Amino acid sequence: VKDVLTLESNEKLQVEVFTILGEKIMELHLENLVTIDFSKNTPGVYFIKAFSTSGSKTFKIVKN
């Protein structure tokens, strides 16, 4: 990821963004398509947890 991460889903999602140290830096509730602005975040590793009615997934991203 450079500046913007785009997520698309057919379900309503709750999305949480964490630093590598486990600090929650964002929480979003979304439907369909959303962009997350990472332009002000420092480069490094982040984790995205996405929750829906069908379960949850965690993604690791690297901000350049």
Give a three-class secondary structure readout of 7-29.
Answer: EECCCCEEEEEEECCCCEEEEEE
Which pTM does this prediction carry? 0.85
Number of neighbours of residue 62 by Cβ within 10 angstroms: 9
pLDDT digits (tens, 9 = 90+) for 9-33: 888 989 999 999 999 999 998 888 8
At residue 8, the pLDDT reads 85
Note whether 21 and 44 are within 8 A (CB): no
pLDDT digits (tens, 9 = 90+) for 36-49: 888 899 999 999 99
Q: Where are the domains of the chain?
A: 4-63
| Fold topology of 4-63 | Immunoglobulin-like (2.60.40)
Residues in the chain: 64
